[in-house]
């Protein structure tokens, strides 16, 4: 009887122990058995077999992205020769008396200028994408790879309007930068800039995409036709032409410009724009850009009222939404058609327009030699004019 009672007490004691014992979590290093398809496998903690468990080394997404593209980013050194005229100061008799005629330039003289920028390889055959302002006018282009190789570069094509250029080096099996889709980029996405600022090769900076479709005019570069990706990733002289990456190491833009009077404001050309222009430049062909010959700004009724209420205003504007003609280029298609400063463009080919960028984009898509029906407001009158687009010539 005593023995049976003792057995019951002990059974209850051990049942209580097992009932309140903590269950080991799934990640705990305890030995357990796993049964799969009728087979039983014993899995033991590393220490039970004499092995040492090691955690995988930590790699940030930035490091992974840079490692994916790093070898394809290059430094571009340029040299060009320019002709200068002697400073009139050198012709001053007083100056010549002290330094002698032999020390003074006697006429135009040549000077060699050196420049530097960045780029990235887009084809294993040695095709490189960079900015036009990096290589434009260069007599010699040297491409320096991350592994130290120095290759002679040939400029295949330059487009000043989009600030894009294609350079070619001889070589095979070169590392290639993966290109992304800039149309999928969103404000707030990670942005990683890679390049060679101030000659500091292989520099990486991190930020976010601050905004999209920032017009070149608002960015302070009115002679370009671009809608930039704006970023706060640090971009400095020497970064021009280098890639702007997303978080997985794909190129979403080409670092191009900064605001000199601001910090944390940089601009990159969307990679999809470069995809359009690059094949044309690689073939050595000219990129054509249609134009009307007007300087424009977005006008709202409120802005027109402010202008009209100013006693110092030189022109009265119709208080409508449209695109104000700020200036007309002489001998341009707009001038020939009779468009004047102060006119407000409200429609093109029957399509209402209230934004200057929309007008620019429409003209870009129209092609060369296309006749556009332009509706304008001039004072209280509405007129229709026909404007035939012409080709915008590069300054170079």
User: Catalytic residue positions?
Assistant: 133, 163, 240
Residue 274: other Cβ atoms inside 10 A: 21
Q: Quote the CA–CA distance of 166 and 156 in Å, as a whole number.
A: 6
Q: Give CA 77 to chain center in angstroms.
A: 20
CB proximity list for 195: less than 8 A, separation 6 or greater:
73, 117, 118, 203, 235, 238, 239, 240, 241, 242, 243, 255
CB proximity list for 141: less than 8 A, separation 6 or greater:
76, 77, 78, 135, 152, 153, 154, 155, 167
Q: Which of 278, 224, 287 is nearest to 251 (CA)?
A: 278
Q: Which of 151, 91, 158 is nearest to 131 (CA)?
A: 158
Q: Quote the CA–CA distance of 226 and 233 in Å, as a whole number.
A: 19
**Per the structure block, which two tokens stand in for 119?**
């780029």
**Per the structure block, which two tokens stand in for 211?**
């905004």
Inter-residue contact 394 to 370 (CB < 8 Å)? no
Q: Quote the CA–CA distance of 321 and 199 in Å, as a whole number.
A: 48
Residue 361 CB burial class (10 angstroms; 0-12, 13-18, ≥19): middle
Q: Quote the CA–CA distance of 227 and 232 in Å, as a whole number.
A: 16
Torsion of CA 216, 217, 222, 226, to 10 degrees: 20
Q: Quote the CA–CA distance of 363 and 358 in Å, as a whole number.
A: 9
Q: Quote the CA–CA distance of 392 and 394 in Å, as a whole number.
A: 7
């Amino acid at each position: 009887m005593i023995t049976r009672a003792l057995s019951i007490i002990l059974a209850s004691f051990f049942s209580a122990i097992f009932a309140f014992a903590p269950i080991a979590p799934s990640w705990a290093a305890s030995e357990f058995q796993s049964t799969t398809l009728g087979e039983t496998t014993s899995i033991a903690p590393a220490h039970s077999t004499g092995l040492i468990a090691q955690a995988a080394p930590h790699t940030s997404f930035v490091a992974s992205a840079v490692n994916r593209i790093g070898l394809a980013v290059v430094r571009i050194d340029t040299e060009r020769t320019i002709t200068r005229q002697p400073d009139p100061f050198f012709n001053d008799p007083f100056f010549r008396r002290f330094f002698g005629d032999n020390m003074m330039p006697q006429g135009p003289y040549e000077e060699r200028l050196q420049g530097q920028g960045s780029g990235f390889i887009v084809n294993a055959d040695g095709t490189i994408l960079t900015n036009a302002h990096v290589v434009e006018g260069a007599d010699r282009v040297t491409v320096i790879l991350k592994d130290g190789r120095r290759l002679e570069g040939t400029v295949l094509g330059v487009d000043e309007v989009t600030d894009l250029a294609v350079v070619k080096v001889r070589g095979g099996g070169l590392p290639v930068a993966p290109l992304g889709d800039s149309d999928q980029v969103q404000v707030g996405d990670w942005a990683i800039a890679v390049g060679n600022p101030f000659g500091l090769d292989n520099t990486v900076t991190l930020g976010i995409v601050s905004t999209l479709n920032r017009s070149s005019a608002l960015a302070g570069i009115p002679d370009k036709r671009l809608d930039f990706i704006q970023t706060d990733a640090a971009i400095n002289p020497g970064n021009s032409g280098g890639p702007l990456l997303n978080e997985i190491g794909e190129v979403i833009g080409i670092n191009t410009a900064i605001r000199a009077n601001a910090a944390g404001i940089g601009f990159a050309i969307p990679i999809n724009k470069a995809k359009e222009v690059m094949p044309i430049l690689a073939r050595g062909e000219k990129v054509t850009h249609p134009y009307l010959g007007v300087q424009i700004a977005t006008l709202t009724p409120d802005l027109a009222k402010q202008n009209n209420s100013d006693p110092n205003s030189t022109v009265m504007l119709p208080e409508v939404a449209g695109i104000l003609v700020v200036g007309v280029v002489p001998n341009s298609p707009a001038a020939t058609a009779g468009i004047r400063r102060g006119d407000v463009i409200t429609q093109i080919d029957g399509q209402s327009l209230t934004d200057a960028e929309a007008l620019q984009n429409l003209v870009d898509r129209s092609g060369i030699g296309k006749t556009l029906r332009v509706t304008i407001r001039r004072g209280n009158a509405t007129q229709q004019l026909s404007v035939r687009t012409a080709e915008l010539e590069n300054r170079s």
